[in-house]
Structure 1
Amino acid sequence: MPACPHAHKVVITRRLLGLDKVISLGTTGIFRDPKGWVFTEDEGEKDPVLGIHYLKEIYDRDCPDGDYKERPTVPVIADTVTGKGVNNDHFWIPIYFDTAWKPFHKAGAPDLYPEAFREEINELNHFIFERINNGVYDVGFARSQEAYEKAYHRFFEALDILEKRLEDRRFLLGDYITDSDIRLYPTLVRFDAVYFQVFHANKKKLIDYKNLWAYARELYQISEIKESTYFDIYKRHYQLSPHLKPLWGNIYSIKAKGPDVSVWEEPVDRGHLSAYPEEKFKKEQSGY
C-alpha cells in the first residue's frame, strides 16, 4: 500500500540494494474495505503473482480454519510458491534485506547497515520508530486532550533532537546514508502534506526546521527514493479514507489543494558537512 510509511522504508531499501531484481512488489489500493487491503489497482483486481484479490488471503493460508481473524497488515513478504506469508515484521525486514539477502545485492550496493555502526543504528532506529514513526500516530489517534498533548510534546521534542543532531552531520550517522535515514524519511515526507493537518501535529511544519527540511530534500532528490514518493496518494489516503476522515472532520470528502510540493525540488547544499561531499552512500565491502 503506497501510502503506508512502514511499507515505504521496506520499498526504498529493496530498491537501493537492487533486490527489486529478485523480490517482486505487489501493491494494494489505498483504501481498505471490511476485509482489509484490496489489490484494486491490478488488472481484474488481482495481484498478478499470487492471483489474490485481498491481502487477507495471504494470512488466511496460515490459519487452520482458513480465516485470519486479525487485521492483515503491510508490508508482508510472501512465498510465491506456497502463497503464504513468511514475514510481516516491518521493523526488521530492512535489516534482513541488508544482511540475510546480501548475496542478492546488486554490484556496488550501498552499505546501509555497516557493522561498525550497528549498535548506534539499532539504538537510533528504536528512537525513530517510537518517537517519530509511531509518535506522530500517537498524536493523531489520541482519544483525550491529555493524551493528545502528551504525545504532541513528545513528538516535537523528538524532532528538535534530530534537528540539533543534523546541525553538524549531513546524515544521521555522519557522512553516509544508513538504514536510520531510510526509516526517518517516510514520516518527514508525509508531514506537511498530511500529518500537520490530519493528525493536528501542528506546532511546526517540516519546512520550519532548517536542518531537517534540507536533509529531507536531499533524500527525496535521490532517484531511487523519489520514485516511491507519492504526495497526491498520501493526501488521498489520509484525507479521504473512511477510517481517517473522522480525525479531522472531513465529512464532505474534500482533498486539500496544497501544500505546494514543488519546493521539494529546491537545491540542497549539505555536502560541506561531509568528508565526502560527492558521495551519499558508502559501497559494500569497501570499509566505512
Structure 2
Amino acid sequence: MGKDLLKFPIAKDLFELANYILKYDLLKLCLKGPKEILDQTQYCQPAIMVCSLAAIEKLKEERPNVIANCVATAGFSLGEITSLVFAGALGFERALQLVKIRGEAMQLASETYKGGMITVMYGPESKLNFACLKAKEWALDKGDEYPECRIANYLYPHCKVVSGSESALQFLENNWKEFNLRKIKRLPVSGAFHSDLMAPAVEPFRKALNKSEISEPVISVYSNVDGKRYRDVEHIRRQLPKQIVKPVKWEQLLHVIYERSPDEYFPRTFECGPGKSLKTILKQVNAKASDECYSIVV
C-alpha cells in the first residue's frame, strides 16, 4: 500500500513526517507488512490516512485544477478526519496524533469487548432490525457482558453493515435465513466499530480533540453522523467524537452531496485512498455520480 505514491516528493515527505510522529516506520509497514499487523486498527488507521493524503498530493501534481476547483469533501469513518485535513480544518501533524489516539483507543476497546462486523444484503421482505433485536437477546442469554447488535454502516439500498458482540454475530450467521436476509459476510476487522462496544474510545479522543487547534474548513465537509455539512468549528468538536459509536450514514450523506436539479452541472468526484469502494457504492446510490467518479490508485 502506497508504493505508487513514492515518486511524488511531497507524498514521500508525508510518510517521513508520519514515521517521526508515530515513532515507527509506517511506510515499511504499508509496503511490506506483515498484513496481520497492518490489519490492526491502531496501525491501519494511520496508514489509511497518510496514504489517502499522499494520494491527494498525487492528484495535485497530475491535475492541479481538480484541487483548486474542489467544492466539497467527505470521508468514510476514519476518512472524515482526512477530509478535515484536506479542507484545512486540522493540521496534518495534529490530525495524525488524533488518529493514533483514536486507533489505539478503538483497538483497546476491541480487545476488551470481543466483537466484529458483518455485511448484510437484504430485500423488502427482510427483517434486519428484528434480526438484530433477536441476536442481541441471544447474546444476553449467552452471558455477553455487553450484548450488542446494531446497524453500523448505511452503505447503499439493501446493503448495510452490522456491528455486534461475538455471540450476537454468531446468531446472525446461524439464523440469517429465518429473517429473509439474502446474504451475510463477516468482515476482516478487529472490533464492533460504530457501536456501543466502542464507547470506551470516545473520551480519550474527545479530550485530545478539545486540546487541538481547529480552523474553519475552506470547503464543505460532511459528517458521517447525520450526513450533513459541518457548520463551524464547534460543530466539528461536538460531532467528531460521536462518530466512533454512531452509525456511518454514508448513503444519506451521498444523497445530500449529490442532490441537484437534472439540468444543473454535475461535478466530478475523485476517490483518494486505498481501494475503489466509493465508485462501487455510488453505482447503487447515484449512477450519474458514479459515471464521473475517478479513483486515484495508491
TM-score of the pair, normalised by structure 2: 0.29
Write 1 or 2 for the structure with the bigger share of strand. 2
Write 1 or 2 for the structure with the bigger share of helix. 2
